[in-house]
Amino acid sequence: MKSTLLLPLALALVLATTALAQQAAPKPTPPRPGGIPADAAWHDVTTWGVEGRGWADQERKKWFDRLPAKAEGKVTAAVWGLSRDSAGMMVRFKTDAKAIYTRYTLTKTNLAMPHMPATGVSGLDLYARDTDGKWKWVQVTRPGSAKVETTLISDLAPGLREYAAYLPLYNGIESLAIGVPAGAQFEGLAPRAEKPIIFYGTSITHGACASRPGMVHTAILGRRFDRPVINVGFSGNGRMDAAVGDLLAEIDAAAYVIDCLPNMGPADVTAKCVPLVKQLRAARPNTPIVLVEDRRFTNDWITPGKKKFHDDNHAALRAAYDQLQKEGITKLSYIPGDHLYGDDTEGATDASHANDLGFMRQADVFEPVLRAAMK
Amino acid sequence: MKSTLLLPLALALVLATTALAQQAAPKPTPPRPGGIPADAAWHDVTTWGVEGRGWADQERKKWFDRLPAKAEGKVTAAVWGLSRDSAGMMVRFKTDAKAIYTRYTLTKTNLAMPHMPATGVSGLDLYARDTDGKWKWVQVTRPGSAKVETTLISDLAPGLREYAAYLPLYNGIESLAIGVPAGAQFEGLAPRAEKPIIFYGTSITHGACASRPGMVHTAILGRRFDRPVINVGFSGNGRMDAAVGDLLAEIDAAAYVIDCLPNMGPADVTAKCVPLVKQLRAARPNTPIVLVEDRRFTNDWITPGKKKFHDDNHAALRAAYDQLQKEGITKLSYIPGDHLYGDDTEGATDASHANDLGFMRQADVFEPVLRAAMK
């Protein structure tokens, strides 16, 4: 595929060179990398803000960190490190441009994982509202280095419309700008004031193994509910920690989704679930709380050991849920884990982490429960 | 994720080293890489054969090439180069082993693409039949170098069963062996004698951007029909070539699926479709032939230029189909392209190439047409 992609590029370069050679002065300003005109107008997204960046008014180590600076040393070192990925953040803007460019610098040079492509780990994933107001997909970057400067999309249909770009799932952002051709209308749209849905979870919530940042279920649900989401997924380290609970309780959320079981065992669930829910409930008496069982491994039909692990985890969460209900905790919902990835064994890339098919199915299971909870 | 994966590994190494240090002679044989016991029994798959490897009785440059040696110089250089990827091949075996290992060498060190992970480009993707005879997913390798030697799966439920492993989609194979623990029953299963379905197409047929080799629609359909498939997808180079047609005509197929439009323009379709169908029909009077329109780009709602391109391609294929029918060619079917990836703009990784969601949807559209055609 590489070679066939390079051929047209090489041809274009030859043609461009020939054209330039035949042309007399004045020479046009050479285009920047990624076919971007030199006079493109650039807009730094930090000047108007990013959705999914909770605790936005608090001091931060880096602007695109998911957690505020004060979290360092309170949450575990692993959680702190993982919180520096931009998972779940999304920037909105309005433009009538015929082309959209982006220039961003990633914090890590490791752009992909063996089971997740660079488009998902380090890509910027663009959507736009159609005339019916619905979010539709536009294009994703294909990062080849930690410095990305590229045309996201060109030859767009005319019209002033709203766009939303999802930030990388398993990489961090040093800086991020959106560019448009000179003269195009452009307006950065501030994060919406609506209460966000907060997802506290594991690598799956973090986004493994979505092919693009817009395909993690938290992003899919954000588009379906058309409201901000905050992704507090920490790969391997979503463990119902009280220190994370302290942070969550600070945010006046539309709902808290607690989806940590894949990183926990039954004893851990029994010890930590009831306290975490009570901690959130004490701070936010009326905020819906949704408890989620761990999905089944898609190969658990042939690996009985894993089946037992999930049986036990499910039972522990169900017992915690029953106890909380018995103690009179209201506005509590429950999502069983058995069918989160579907029933045909095809919903994951590596048994544990969803592929795009599994994320879509997971969003389908979450949606009605969340809709009822937030009524 | 990396760091959290490495931590337990480091700990395990420390513990293992300590354990070894404390242990007196005799030292156990050190395990091979990937947790494989030194006395594992290895089985070279070339000794019993691979499905999806057409023209199997003809001379080959490399055993795992998709095309026979005689094709070199007849097909284009690009097609020849791409035919050396193992896309669509699948090896079956029967074992009662509790663990399955694999050892294979890839032809290319480029293990992934920016929009397709190493699991899909270079992975070995294992399925097994459940007690109900249905294919279910087991596990995929996560290649980290061109030489892979790893435990594919362990802790399997007891039982003698049939397995099928799909070979890499966008890489080639120098050698491939399946390993099982010493003493386990093992039988290589020869390619089934049933007629294969042949898919002649583009990068999408070739497998871009499936997260695993078993997720390309040709593989999904092979499992649903439970019959061999041959993947003749050539990234960027599926163009209804007569030279490829000559090769296809040699194979007594269950059906020919001609799915080249994404690599062609309307003039090309008009010039080449009718001759290719007549070429196949002349050689195989009764073999069903299925013509497939190109899918719509998932962002064509906002890129009118691409919409027009596909409109024109569709019209050209429809005209060729009408002409063929008028000329009395029978056993001809037609798959419209508009809904191959679904209708929500989410079925591709990069507008053009399917993600796992898009491949599943494409299989759902193909299945009833193929089922009717092969009746």
Segment A240-254 shows an average pLDDT of: 98
pLDDT value of position B2: 40
Q: What is the pLDDT of residue A30?
A: 55
Q: Indicate if B176 and B229 belong to the same structural domain.
A: no
Is residue B208 very low, low, confident or very high in pLDDT (cuts 50, 70, 90)?
A: very high
Q: Which domain holds residue B132?
A: 41-52+88-189
- B206 and B177 share a domain? no
What's B243's domain CATH number? 3.40.50.1110
For the cut 70, the answer to whether the pLDDT of residue B90 exceeds it is yes
Hey, of B346, B361, B362, which one would you mutate to test binding to chain A, going by the most A CBs within 10 A of its CB? Answer: B346
Q: How far apart are CA B226 and CA B224, in angstroms?
A: 5
* HSE of B201, CA atoms in CB hemisphere, 13 A: 28
- A335 in a structural domain: yes
Are B252 and B305 members of one domain? Answer: yes
**Range A62-70 average pLDDT:** 98
Residue B15 located in a structural domain: no
Q: Is A15 inside any structural domain?
A: no
CA atoms of A299 and A310, how far apart (whole Å):
12
- B107 touching chain A per CB within 8 A: no
Question: What are the tens digits of pLDDT across the range B288-317?
Answer: 999 999 999 999 999 999 899 999 999 999
Instruction: Answer yes or no: is pLDDT of B367 > 80.
Output: yes
Residue A35 — very low, low, confident or very high, per pLDDT cuts 50/70/90? confident
Based on the fold, state whether residues B138 and B281 are members of the same structural domain. Answer: no
- Token digits for A211? 């092919």
User: What is the distance between the alpha carbons of residues A111 and B250, in angstroms, rounded to a whole number?
Assistant: 44
| pLDDT score of B150 more than 60 | yes
Say if B36 falls within a structural domain: no
Nearest-by-CA chain B residue for A78:
B4
Is residue B13 assigned to a domain?
A: no
Find which of B85, B115, B235, B309 to mutate to test the A interface (most A CBs within 10 Å of its CB).
B115
| B226: confidence class by pLDDT, cuts 50, 70, 90 | very high
Rounded average pLDDT over B323-352: 98
| Separation in Å, CA of A130 to nearest CA in chain B | 8
CB contact under 8 A, A142 and B81: no
Task: Tell me: do A114 and A203 sit in the same domain.
Answer: no
Q: Which residues contact A224 (CB under 8 A, 6 or more apart)?
A: A363, A367
pLDDT in tens, A128-151: 999 999 999 999 999 999 999 999
Residue in A with minimal Cα distance to B305: A155
Domain match, B353 and B301 both: yes
- What's the mean pLDDT in A280-297? 98
Peptide bond into B26 cis (omega under 30): yes
Long-range contacts of A192-195 (CB under 8 A, 24+ apart): A192/A51, A192/A227, A192/A228, A194/A227, A194/A228, A194/A254, A195/A227, A195/A228, A195/A252, A195/A253, A195/A254
Q: What is the pLDDT of residue B31?
A: 57
Nearest CA in chain B to A119: B115
Average pLDDT estimate for B213-223: 98
Distance of CA B13 to the CA centre of its chain: 36
Residues B221 and B369 in one domain: yes
Tell me if A358 sits within 8 A of A364, measured CB to CB.
no
| Cα torsion angle, A237, A240, A242, A245, sign | positive
Domain membership of residue B70 (yes or no) is no
Segment A322-346 shows an average pLDDT of 98
Q: Which of A136, A159, A189 is at the close of a domain? A: A189
Whether the Cβ atoms of residue B247 and residue B55 lie closer than 8 Å to each other? yes
What are the two backbone dihedrals, phi and then psi, of residue A330, each rounded to the nearest 5 degrees?
A: -105, 180
The mean pLDDT value for B70-97 works out to 98
Task: State whether B145 and B206 are in the same domain.
Answer: no
Summary mean pLDDT of chain A: 93
Res. B220: pLDDT tops 80: yes
Residues A148, A129 share a domain: yes
The pLDDT value given to residue A132: 95
Dump pLDDT digits (tens) for B20-74: 333 444 455 555 667 899 999 999 999 999 999 999 999 999 999 999 999 999 9
Count of domains for chain B: 2
Residue in A140, A163, A355, A360 to test binding to B, most B beta-carbons within 10 Å: A355
Share of chain A above pLDDT 90, in %: 90
What is the predicted pLDDT for the residue at B311?
A: 96
Nearest CA among B256, B282, B251 for reference residue B200 = B256
In the prediction, which pLDDT does A16 show?
Answer: 40
DSSP for B84-146?
A: TS-TT-EEEEEE--S-EEEEEEES-S---BTTB-HHHHH--EEEEE-TTS-EEEEEE---SSS
CA–CA separation, A53 and A90 (whole Å): 8
Which residue among B112, B119, B350 sits closest to A140, beta carbon to beta carbon? B350
First to last CA, chain A: 49
Q: What share of chain B is helix, strand, coil (3-state, %, to 5)?
A: 35, 25, 45
Phi, psi of B307 (to 5 degrees): -60, -45
Evaluate the CA torsion angle B261, B264, B269, B274 in order and state its sign. negative
Kindly report the average pLDDT of chain B as a whole number: 93
Q: Can you spell out the DSSP letters for B18-37?
A: HHHHHPPSSPPPPPBGGGB-
A87 found inside a domain: yes
- For A349, which of B2, B111, B119 is closest by C-beta distance? B119
Nearest chain B residue to A137 by CA distance is: B345
pLDDT in tens, A82-98: 999 999 999 999 999 99
A117 touches chain B (CB under 8 A): yes
Sheet of strand B173-180: strand arrangement: B41-44, B173-180, B100-106, B147-153
Is B131 in CB contact (< 8 Å) with chain A? Answer: no
Query: Has residue A3 got a pLDDT over 60?
Result: no
Please provide the distance, in angstroms rounded to a whole number, between the alpha carbons at the two ends of chain B.
Answer: 49
ipTM: 0.92
Predicted confidence band of residue B362 (pLDDT cuts 50, 70, 90): very high
Beta strands A197-201; A255-259: pairing state? parallel
Which of B189, B209, B235 terminates a domain? The answer is: B189
Extract the tokens encoding B281: 């029909």
Alpha helices in chain A (DSSP H): 2-22, 77-82, 118-122, 203-206, 217-225, 242-249, 266-283, 304-326, 356-373
A160 domain-assigned: yes
Which of B160, B189, B218 is the last residue in one of the domains? Answer: B189
Q: How far apart are CA A346 and CA A343, in angstroms?
A: 8
Q: What is the mean pLDDT of residues A262-277?
A: 98
User: What pLDDT is attached to residue B35?
Assistant: 86
A360 reaches B (C-beta below 8 A):
yes
For residue B188, give both structure tokens.
């290589």
SS3 track for A172-192: CEEEEEEEECCCCCEEEECCC
B184 touches chain A (CB under 8 A): no
CA angle A47, A48, A51 (to 5 degrees): 125
DSSP assigned state of A293: P
Closest Cα to residue B334, out of B305, B295, B366, B291? B291
Q: What is the pLDDT of residues B166-189, one digit of tens each?
A: 999 999 999 999 999 999 999 999
A302 contacts B350? CB cut-off 8 A: no
Residue window 208-247, chain B: list those with CB within 8 Å of chain A. 208-209, 211-212, 215, 220, 235-237
Q: Chain B partners of A170 at a C-beta cutoff of 8 Å? A: 1
C-alpha B49/C-alpha B190 separation (Å) is 6
- Shared-domain flag, residues B229 and B310: yes
CATH code of residue A117? 2.60.120.260
- Rg of chain B over Cα atoms, rounded to whole angstroms, equals 22
Residue B242 has pLDDT above 50, yes or no: yes
Which residues from B are below 8 Å from A114, CB to CB? 111-112, 117-119, 142-144
CB contact under 8 A, A112 and B114: yes
Residues 18-37 of B with CB under 8 A from A: none
Residue A319 has pLDDT above 70, yes or no: yes
Of B111, B155, B306, the CB nearest to A303: B155
Residue A371 and residue A344 in contact, taking contact as beta carbons nearer than 8 Å: no
**Residue A61 to residue A83: CA distance in whole angstroms:** 11
Report chain B residues whose CB lies below 8 A from the CB of A82.
4
Residue A193 clears pLDDT 90, i.e. is over it: yes
Using CA atoms, how far residue B1 sits from A5, A79, A276, B115, B169, in Å, is 31, 11, 24, 19, 25
What is the C-alpha to C-alpha distance for residues B43 and A161, in angstroms, rounded to an integer? 59
At residue B11 the predicted structure's pLDDT band, cuts being 50, 70 and 90, is very low
> Do residue B139 and residue B203 come from a single domain?
no
Kindly state whether residues A134 and A266 are assigned to the same domain.
no
Q: Is residue A239 within 8 Å of residue A275, measured between CB atoms?
A: no
